[in-house]
Amino acid sequence: MAETAATTRPSWLQSLAVYLDRRLIITLFLGFSSGLPLLLTAGTLAAWLSEAGVAKTVIGLMSIASAAYTFKFLWSPVVDRVAIPGLSNLLGQRRAWMLVSQALTMVALIGLGLSDPAANFKMVVAWAVLVAFASATQDIVIDAYRIELLSREEFGAGAAMNSLGYRLAILASGGGALILADAFGWFAAYGAMAALMFVGVITVLCSPEPARPPQAEASNYAAWIKQSVVAPFADFLSRPGWVVILLFIAFYKYGDALLGVMANPFYLEMGFSKTEIGLVSKTYGVAMTILGGFVGGALVARFGIMRTLLYGGIIMGATNLLYTMLAHIGHSVPALIAVISIENLANGIGGVAFIAYLSSLCNLAYTATQYALMSSFMAFARTLFASGGGWLADRMDWGTYFLLTTIAAVPGIVLLLWMMRRFPQKTP
């Protein structure tokens, strides 16, 4: 579909007014429900295990419990196509799966909170795996719900609102849970987080079921596999330029991946204290990313997904050069604030546009499966590309390294320009 003509673009006021839409508010609260369990099987759980005297090696291995987020595409066809008896007829396919995954997450969080790492570590592992599985399942259905609920022009705003809710949940399950644990104990902390999952439950009960294309009934198991597993792949592979699309998904944030993996070592080597890094990069920087997300959502509504992707890719790559400047300046908190402001604002714009693009690629007949596949592929590519960052940083000075991260952003931009010119009517 071609981008909207300039003469029919909405005004800036209209582009920003989209955030007041009820469906965007729903997306905000569901983003909160989606983000809440993440740290409870990662950083927050690691703090609890450390306090209980669990060895650091074992704590590190606990990250395997979160593998469900990486491999969620494996059971996404079930979420997409299998109805929950009784509940799906009452609420609809998406709302039923959201409620079941939220209920399972709450039960698993309470079970995890009741566990004793010192007395029965295996139970901690079991409950943590269940939390991650239930949470990843919730992510599958919430992503599909968001795509089916919103129009193409609202995908950017939806991504921004989802991101805001997600980050607010991270604050609650990170710092908030630790504060509660310090005052009332770990069961109280995990119990409170389970109670906060009612934000998602209430949102689901007050929200509509999105319209979906009719789903054909499979006559047997082989037919179900063909319709639910094979068909989503075949649909994607039938698109013109699908190889280039996959390459673009892999390379669009290549420069950002290389920058992110070495950012903290760079800050420390430049003499920034952990407090300065925490306040500027991890706190103020998050606020700037959220602001960038809202700007990105408005840009998508006004200029379309592809043009916003192009703008975001260019500014994300260009802002990496600011780190080269910071490497020459050295320790300077004002300079760090300036760099973080611009770089995180750019990442917010590019990140929201990218999520909107992935959303636009989904066929509504296979929304959950295709989005889970593409988001998992994106995460895998980002992790793979970032893994070489330390090796590169060891072999060059910081200025050269960050110049290289800027160059690494070029392939994604080139692929995007090729798609925009080669498939102007077919590229979302």
Specify the amino acid at residue 300. V
Predicted confidence (pLDDT) per residue in 264-277, tens digit: 888 888 998 888 88
Confidence band of 63 (pLDDT split at 50, 70, 90): confident
**Which residues, including other chains, have CB under 8 Å from residue 428's CB and lie 6 or more apart?**
1, 152, 305, 306, 357, 360, 361
Q: What pLDDT score was predicted for residue 113?
A: 93
Check pLDDT > 50 for residue 427: no
Confidence band of 3 (pLDDT split at 50, 70, 90): very low
**Which residues, including other chains, have CB under 8 Å from residue 162's CB and lie 6 or more apart?**
27, 28, 30, 31, 34, 142, 146, 355
Total-model pTM? 0.84
302, 394 in Cβ contact below 8 A? no
Check pLDDT > 90 for residue 145: yes
Predicted confidence (pLDDT) per residue in 385-416, tens digit: 777 878 888 888 999 999 999 999 999 999 99
* 60-74, 153-167, 211-225, 335-349: segment of lowest average pLDDT: 211-225
387, 262 in Cβ contact below 8 A? no
Check pLDDT > 80 for residue 1: no
Check pLDDT > 50 for residue 2: no
**Which residues, including other chains, have CB under 8 Å from residue 237's CB and lie 6 or more apart?**
none
Work out the average pLDDT over 270-298. Answer: 88
CA 33/CA 29 separation, integer angstroms: 6
DSSP 197-230: THHHHHHHHTSPPPP-PPPPPPSSHHHHHIIIII
Q: What pLDDT score was predicted for residue 12?
A: 66
**Which residues, including other chains, have CB under 8 Å from residue 239's CB and lie 6 or more apart?**
245, 426
Q: What pLDDT score was predicted for residue 5?
A: 42
Residue ranges of domains in the chain, CATH in brackets: 11-212 (1.20.1250.20), 227-422 (1.20.1250.20)
